[in-house]
């Protein structure tokens, strides 16, 4: 397995390849669109995916940092039309954004759009390019506590009629469907930094008392 750990200086040097005008556009025009989404997909989530994409992108010296940052920034924009097909809507939004043509040609925009579509964890095929693979891995953010918190947040935002016990059962069912052995989540890069956290989450999922205890803590913190 190849080590994807990089120094701050290496990541900063990779990020420095992105035109400042593009960074400003993503910050001022793209990221504010996340403010209207559910709590698990607000601006802080988009920033996290962007930062993690840059950290992983530094491992692949021949990638275009601007294309990768843009794909990461735009990956969840399709949530404006709901979650079910948001990856397809994100792809459409990228293609329709004429402002991006200040920095990219048509072929590059096509790659960015494909990466935005291919990020979805439930996709039944591998992303078509390294850009999609990186954004998909960056979007995973398989931190056991964060993954559980996002499941609780999504349940509260979309199923307010459920009881506390039903929210717990929904969270557990979601985690098993997505993260368990045979679940729909795939790690597309062999050197993915998500491999160790995924193993830890699976250990937690096998410990029902620990799952209950963690849910109770998250419930207290997330209840409006």
Q: Are 133 and 125 in contact (CB under 8 A)?
A: no
Residue ranges and CATH numbers for the domains of the chain are 8-140 (1.10.3210.10), 144-222 (no CATH)
Residue 215 to residue 224: CA distance in whole angstroms:
15
Non-local CB neighbours of 108 within 8 Å, separated by 6+ positions: 64, 67
* Distance of alpha carbon 123 from the chain centroid: 13
The verdict on pTM exceeding 0.85 is no
For the chain, what is the total number of helices (H) and then of strands (E)?
11, 0
Q: How far is CA 171 from CA 26, 74, 84, 168, 195, in A?
A: 33, 27, 18, 5, 21
Judged by average pLDDT, the poorest of 49-63, 75-89, 103-117 is: 75-89
Residue 97 to residue 191: CA distance in whole angstroms:
33
pLDDT in tens, 12-37: 999 999 999 999 999 999 999 999 99
pLDDT in tens, 93-121: 999 999 999 999 999 999 999 999 998 76
């Amino acid at each position: 397995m190849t080590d994807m750990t990089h120094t701050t200086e290496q990541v900063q040097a990779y990020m420095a390849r992105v035109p400042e005008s593009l960074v400003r556009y993503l910050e001022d025009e793209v990221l504010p669109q996340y403010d209207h989404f559910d709590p698990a997909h607000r601006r802080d989530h988009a920033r996290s995916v962007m930062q993690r994409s840059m950290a992983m992108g530094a491992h692949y010296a021949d990638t275009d940092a601007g294309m990768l940052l843009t794909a990461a920034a735009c990956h969840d924009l399709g949530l404006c039309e709901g979650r079910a097909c948001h990856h397809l809507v994100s792809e459409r939004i990228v293609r329709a954004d004429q402002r991006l043509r200040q920095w990219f040609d048509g072929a590059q925009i096509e790659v960015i759009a494909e990466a935005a579509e291919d990020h979805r964890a439930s996709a039944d095929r591998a992303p078509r390019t390294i850009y999609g693979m990186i954004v998909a891995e960056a979007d995973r953010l398989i931190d056991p506590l964060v993954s559980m918190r996002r499941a609780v947040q999504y349940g509260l935002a979309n199923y307010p009629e459920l009881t506390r016990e039903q929210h717990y059962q929904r969270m557990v069912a979601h985690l098993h469907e997505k993260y368990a052995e045979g679940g729909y989540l795939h790690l597309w890069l062999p050197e993915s930094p998500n491999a160790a956290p995924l193993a830890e989450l699976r250990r937690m999922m096998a410990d029902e008392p620990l799952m209950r205890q963690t849910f109770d803590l998250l419930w207290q913190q997330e209840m409006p």
